Structure 1
Amino acid sequence: MTPELYTALATFAFVTVITPGPNNLMLMASGANFGFRRSMPHILGVGLGFPMMIVLVGLGAMQLFDLVPQSYTLLKVVSVAYMLWLAWKIANAAPPKEAQAEGRPLTFLQAAAFQWVNPKAWSMALGAITLYAASRDLTAILWVAGTYVMMGCMSTTSWTVLGTAVRRLLAKPSWLRMFNWAMAALLVASLLPVLMP
């Protein structure tokens, strides 16, 4: 990979991971509801789960979409249904003191598995492979995945820290409830580009 192509890839990766989307909104909500330390498995699940998805998409899942285009429509339907359920869970999250007793942030495996039903993750993975690993050879795919590990660490940490900072401002349960409803609404709004033809 040439330096120019890698610079373009790194820029693409940074912009796609730092902008608001389901992962970032959920990490911010997790930071606000559970704090940074308890959100670490969620952070790692996103930070490592998405690059693993890139590898698997690059090595084979794209071929499934080429062979059976309807599979992409099915993926969209399942993804949207799951995201709506998650938005409901975020909107109805308990205040931090209650959450520590009854709620819990996503685990590493839950956050990693979430990538497979995250429409933004699919768009990012398909776009990155198409643009920067069009040959679909293992070396190019690993360059893309490795870049996303690096950029993802910055993004997941930043969004969770932002949520943790917001947590201090949300001491009143009513404010936290409004914040959670706003995060849920933004999560649903993040689905609009997927639903538009």
Structure 2
Amino acid sequence: MSLSLILPMSAFALVASISPGPVNIVGLSSGARYPLSKGLVFITGATLGFVILFLAIGYGLSALLVTFPNFEKWLTWAGIVFLLYLSYRLARDDGEINAEAIVEVPGFFTGFLMQWLNPKAWIASAASIGAYTNNGELTQVLLFAGLYLPICWLSLSCWVYAGAFMRQKVQQPKTLRAINRVLAVLLAGSCVLLVIG
């Protein structure tokens, strides 16, 4: 494969992965709230969830969006309910770190599920496969997924590390509570983008 294909694919993967969105906000919150390893487990789930979704769409799952026009609407509302649930949990967080809170941290499955309930992930995957591959050619889809895997994981990791940096600088539960509420509002606000997008 030539650099003329790899570089644009990599650039797209970087922009799509590092730009703010629900997964990034939860990653930032996890880094600010929980041990670093917990946030990395969450983003590993999100990364693998996206790459598997990407491959599934590359192999024809995108036909669901065409065959069942209501599928996208259902997916949007399922995603909104899930994001509002996560927003609620963030808003109710008391800023104290204890064993019970660490058990409730968004984990691998939460990250994985977030991608499959995110209509933007479906549409972005279908659009990028259409734009950067020749009619979903197998080798090119695999290459794109292979590029997405490390780029997405490293991009999301930056958000977790940013959260961990915030936690080091801000140790007081009252401040962490305020940060969590701001992140909860941002996460809930991303639901508006799903509705109008």
2:28 matched residue in structure 1: 28
The code of the aligned residue for 2:91 comes to A
* Helix, strand or coil at the partner of 2:62: helix
RMSD: 1.8
Gaps of at least 5 residues in structure 2 are: none
1:102 matched residue in structure 2: 101
* Helix, strand or coil at the partner of 1:106: coil
Post-superposition Cα deviations, 1:19-40, rounded to whole Å, max 9, x if no partner, equal 1101111011001110212223
Deviation at 1:76, TM superposition (A): 0.9
Deviation at 1:96, TM superposition (A): 4.0
1:196 matched residue in structure 2: 196
Deviation at 1:60, TM superposition (A): 2.3
Gaps of at least 5 residues in structure 1 are: none
The code of the aligned residue for 2:100 comes to A
The code of the aligned residue for 1:73 comes to K
2:19 matched residue in structure 1: 19
Q: What is the rounded CA distance, in whole Å, between the counterparts of 2:160 and 2:68 in structure 1?
A: 37
Deviation at 1:136, TM superposition (A): 1.8
Q: CA separation of 1:58/1:131 partners in 2, compared to 1, >3 Å: closer, same or farther?
A: same
Deviation at 1:133, TM superposition (A): 2.8
Q: Count how many residue pairs are aligned between Structure 1 and Structure 2.
A: 196
Deviation at 1:166, TM superposition (A): 0.6
1:166 matched residue in structure 2: 166
User: Are the aligned partners of 1:21 and 1:120 in contact in 2 as well (CA < 8 Å)?
Assistant: no
| Match runs of 1:76-115 below 5 Å | 76-98=76-98, 100-103=99-102, 104-115=104-115
Post-superposition Cα deviations, 1:43-64, rounded to whole Å, max 9, x if no partner, equal 2112222111100121122011
Q: What is the rounded CA distance, in whole Å, between the counterparts of 2:36 and 2:110 in structure 1?
A: 17
* Helix, strand or coil at the partner of 1:72: helix
The code of the aligned residue for 2:166 comes to V
Post-superposition Cα deviations, 1:168-192, rounded to whole Å, max 9, x if no partner, equal 2332211111100111111122233
Q: CA separation of 1:105/1:152 partners in 2, compared to 1, >3 Å: closer, same or farther?
A: same
1:67 matched residue in structure 2: 67
State TM-score, norm by structure 2. Answer: 0.91
Q: CA separation of 1:57/1:184 partners in 2, compared to 1, >3 Å: closer, same or farther?
A: same
Q: CA separation of 1:118/1:170 partners in 2, compared to 1, >3 Å: closer, same or farther?
A: farther
Give the share of equivalent positions with the same residue, in percent: 28
User: Are the aligned partners of 2:45 and 2:108 in contact in 1 as well (CA < 8 Å)?
Assistant: yes
Deviation at 1:142, TM superposition (A): 1.0
Q: What is the rounded CA distance, in whole Å, between the counterparts of 1:142 and 1:123 in structure 2?
A: 18
